[in-house]
Every structure is written in C-alpha cells, then in structure tokens.
Amino acid sequence: MVVPMARRHLVIAFVVVALFLVGFILNSWYSAYTSLFHQTPPSKIMVQGEDVSIEGYLQTDPLWLVNATLYHHYDRVTIVLGSEDTREYCDRTGKCQFRMLAAAEISCVVGKLMGSYYYETARSMGYNDSIARAFALEQVSSRIDASKWLTFQLKLSIGRGRIGNENHLLIILRGPLDGAVGNRIYVPRKGVLVLEALSEETLYREALLIEGIMGISCSKS
C-alpha cells in the first residue's frame, strides 16, 4: 500500500514531467515558427530594377514557387499584418498607411484567385452569372481573414502547422519593427508566403510586385 507521502511524491513527479513535456512541445512549436525567417534559401533571384529578392525553400525557380503557392486552392487564408509591437506603433502614430495598403493589395490578389475558383464551381453546378458571383463573394468573405496580428498563440499555431499548410494559406507582412533583415519575398514552406521589407513603402511595393508576378491587377474590377 502506497503511503500518503510517497503518493505525494508520485504526484509531484508526474506534474514536473507533464510541465516539462508541455514546455518542450511549446518550445518546439515556437522554434518552428521562428525558423521560417532564418532559413538559407536554396533558390534566390533579384528583381530587375528593384532592391528586392525572391526566395524559396525548394531548389527551383522562386517565381514559379510564388505562383504555385498562391494559385493553389486553399480552404482558408490568413493575412498577418505584423507583430504586436507594430500594432502598438500603428495605433499610436497612425503611420502605417503603406502596410495597410500592402495588406489590401494582397487580400485583393488572393480574393480574386479564390473568388474565381468558387465562381467556376457555382457555374459548373448550373447557377447563372449573378448567383455564381454572389456565391463566390460569400465564400471569399468567410474564408479570408486579412486583419490578424501576431499573438503568441498565433505563433504557436503557425509553428505547429495548423496555419500555413496545403489547406490554409498564411501570408505574413514583416517590416522594420517585426524583425525584417532585408527586402525579400519568400516562400519558407508549403502554404506560407512572407513579404519582408526594411521600410513600409517597400512593403507596399512588394505587394505590387506580387500582382505583377501573378498577372493580377487590383486596380481593375
């Protein structure tokens, strides 16, 4: 028969082991998140006339990889505007217009791609043009979240792969206050696209470059 003191020791040991395992798992998820920004890409090209590089996690044409990443059909899309430090700066100064414009451009691009998919789906089911357009708009509105900020919980979700995978596209805007180290557009893993820039203006220019890469104009209907 286990005496009360021994039982307490067993409970304490169990709690310690459980806390260690939880800490280990959380740390592994967080490390997986931070590793997205510190990889040495096997493929890299410079955009002619721009101080911006295009990079990818596969040994292939990074422009093709950006296209393949965005043209792939996803159930959901999350666009991260930046870190909580950036959010505080934006709220305090109101000087994040270019970042918001960048987010709007990227949201437009993925919205058009996703909308086209659901429009064609509705048409193939026999619906007329107006109903198909309404269906596509409803689907896009419910499946794209374009106003996320990086919380610790969101970082863990990204690290464990719940966001940023073949079913859930993740697009991250990463500027000066977010830890940006260069001007680059890169795909660090399947289902993740990062726009990183040393200035807010360049972040917006990178969003416009994405439009050019995809052949999609958001200045037209």
| Per-residue pLDDT reduced to its tens digit, 92-118 | 998 899 999 999 999 999 999 999 999
Mean pLDDT of the chain: 90
Distance CA 143, CA 128 (A): 22
Task: Classify residue 131: in a domain, yes or no.
Answer: yes
How confident is the model at residue 220, as a pLDDT?
52
Number of domains into which the chain is organized: 1
- Given the DSSP bridges, would you call strands 192-196 and 184-189 parallel, antiparallel or unpaired? antiparallel
Task: Classify residue 220: in a domain, yes or no.
Answer: no
* Per-residue pLDDT tens over the stretch 61-92: 999 999 999 999 999 999 999 999 999 999 99
The answer on pLDDT for 47 being more than 60 is: yes
* Per-residue pLDDT tens over the stretch 164-193: 999 999 999 999 899 999 999 999 999 999
Task: Classify residue 89: in a domain, yes or no.
Answer: yes
Range of the structural domain that residue 123 is part of: 4-214
Task: Classify residue 122: in a domain, yes or no.
Answer: yes
Task: Classify residue 84: in a domain, yes or no.
Answer: yes
What region, left, alpha or beta, does residue 94 occupy, with left being phi > 0 and alpha being psi -120 to 50 degrees? left
What region, left, alpha or beta, does residue 217 occupy, with left being phi > 0 and alpha being psi -120 to 50 degrees? beta
How confident is the model at residue 24, as a pLDDT?
54
* Per-residue pLDDT tens over the stretch 134-164: 999 999 999 999 989 999 999 999 999 999 9
How confident is the model at residue 195, as a pLDDT?
98
How confident is the model at residue 16, as a pLDDT?
66
- Collapsing DSSP states into helix, strand and coil, what is residue 202? helix
Task: Classify residue 219: in a domain, yes or no.
Answer: no
Q: Which of 139-168 are b and which e, b meaning 16 or more Cβ less than 10 Å from the residue's Cβ?
A: bbeebbebebebeeebbbbbbbbebbbeeb
The answer on pLDDT for 1 being more than 50 is: no
The answer to pTM > 0.85 is yes
The answer on pLDDT for 13 being more than 50 is: yes
